[in-house]
Amino acid sequence: MMKRIILIVLLFTGFAVKAQHNPDDQILSDNWDVVGGVDFKIVKDSEMYAVYTPEIKKHANKPFELEGYIVPIKDGMKQTKFMLSTLPINQCFYCGKNGVPIMVLVEMAEPIKFTYKTIVVKGTLKLNPGNAMDNPPISLVNAKSI
């Protein structure tokens, strides 16, 4: 359980192992820059909290759009809850190979079919100020594919 929590936290923090990413696959956007600006404060081995920038706080509880790659957290071709990444799953160190990209938890209003191509989703941006070792610090809820 603890290994899983640490993995999720690393995925959110954007810590990266030196990687050979294909730059053509990397999704770059102003909204990903907003998400990527979030930092983390480690209190102790079992506690870490997101430090939200004023920029991301402006978007909290408002519609927010991201393009990215689905990284499933459960098996199945239909996904309702997954991680959205700036890199494809085959370029994620923990999911395939290479470094750890920035990720956001997405909770869809309706299931979406898994694809290796990018998707664009729009939902309400939620910031979780609780312990990031237990819950994702950034999520898009009630999201829809656009």
Q: What is the pLDDT of residues 101-119, one digit of tens each?
A: 578 999 999 999 999 999 9
What's the rounded mean pLDDT across residues 125-139? 91
| Domain range for 69 | 2-145
Phi-psi region of 12 (alpha: psi -120 to 50; beta: other; left: phi over 0): alpha
Domain count, the chain: 1
pLDDT above 70 as % of the chain: 75
pLDDT-derived band at 91 (thresholds 50, 70, 90) equals: low
- Residue 43, exposed/middle/buried by CB under 10 A (0-12, 13-18, 19+)? exposed
Widest Cα–Cα separation across the chain: 40
Beta strands at 39-44 and 47-51: parallel, antiparallel or unpaired: antiparallel
Asked if 143 contacts 60 with a C-beta cutoff of 8 angstroms, the reply is no
Output the domain CATH number for residue 90. 2.40.50.140
pTM for the whole structure = 0.78
pLDDT-derived band at 132 (thresholds 50, 70, 90) equals: confident
pLDDT-derived band at 134 (thresholds 50, 70, 90) equals: confident
Q: Which pLDDT tens digit goes with each residue over 24-75? A: 777 888 999 999 999 889 998 889 999 999 999 999 999 999 999 999 999 9
* DSSP tag of 90: G
